A = this chain, B = another copy of it.
Amino acid sequence: MYNLLKGKKGIIFGALDEKSIAWKVAERAHEEGATFVLTNAPVALRLGTITQLAEKTGAEVIPADATSIMDLEHLVDQAMEILGGKIDFVLHSIGMSVNVRRGNHYTHQDYNFTKTGWDVSALSFHRVMSVLYQKNAMNEWGSIIALTYMAAQRVFPDYNDMADNKAYLESVARSFGYFFGRDHKVRVNTISQSPTPTTAGSGVKGFDGFLSFADKMSPLGNATAAECADYTITLFSDLTKKVTLQNLFHDGGFSNMGISTAIMDDFMKVNKPVEENEDKKAKK
């Protein structure tokens, strides 16, 4: 629409199906003139519908397990060969908690699952950047973004060990972002997105209710996956070159709300002031 990414080359992780934020980012990046490769774990490639996206955007799909340095090295080599040069933007949209899938309570985790979730969801971001950094594969003023969630800062009980993984991920963005900025003029940020009804997100217990709660708390309502893609495009563009090490909330304002009138109104329907209840009783 605006040619914001004209001539830019990218790697997009994590487009499972058309509900995925990464899917929307790929569509928008394509519209804005970028070329890119798509990648996901082999199992996700089988489960999802990424080939449709690949066709639509003229992108090649390169399988890569983000916990494997070898896979990532292959991915980056291939990406540079296919795209004909260094990379300008990278989206990391990878997250998975085995403890959530298996229904383990946060207080009683299987620590092997915890390790796997951390490895896939958080350490993978370090690996991706490490490979890009060692190979000197990013163009100057390139932009690397990972998606995260506010459970890294505040308690959302059902988010389970993903909260801790996201905290680690955001720290990696800062820590690695320093070296990537200093040495290669590359910026690294995380986008902390509203709860989003992706295929992954929807599986979480009580997700629909929480979606509604977040929407009523946020002055502008929840941000959608499509809106997140728009925002991501700005952060890949040349207009945000000096934004780095930041965790950027894209959430309709939720993150800075204490309470909204809408949430308070609902709360008061269930929690009548004492006097009022007494009063009603008396009338009977």
Interface residues of chain A, those whose CB is within 8 Å of chain B, are: 2-4, 69, 106-109, 111, 114-115, 118-119, 122-123, 126-127, 129-130, 133-134, 150-157, 161, 163-164, 166-168, 170-172, 174-182, 185, 187, 194, 206, 208-210, 212-213, 216, 218-224, 227, 230-231, 233-234, 237-246, 248-253, 255-261, 263-264, 266-271, 273-274
Contacts and interface: CB of A to CB of B under 8 A. Distances in A.
A271 B243 CA distance: 26
A182 B108 contact: no
Contacts of A155: 174-175, 177-178, 219, 245, 253, 256-260
B269 A176 contact: no
Secondary structure dominating the interface of A: helix
Contacts of A274: 208
Query: How many copies make up the complex?
Result: 4
A194 B243 CA distance: 11
Contacts of A213: 259, 264, 267, 271
A114 to B, nearest CB: 7
Q: A109, A179, A242, A271 — which one has the most chain B CB atoms within 10 A of its CB?
A: A242
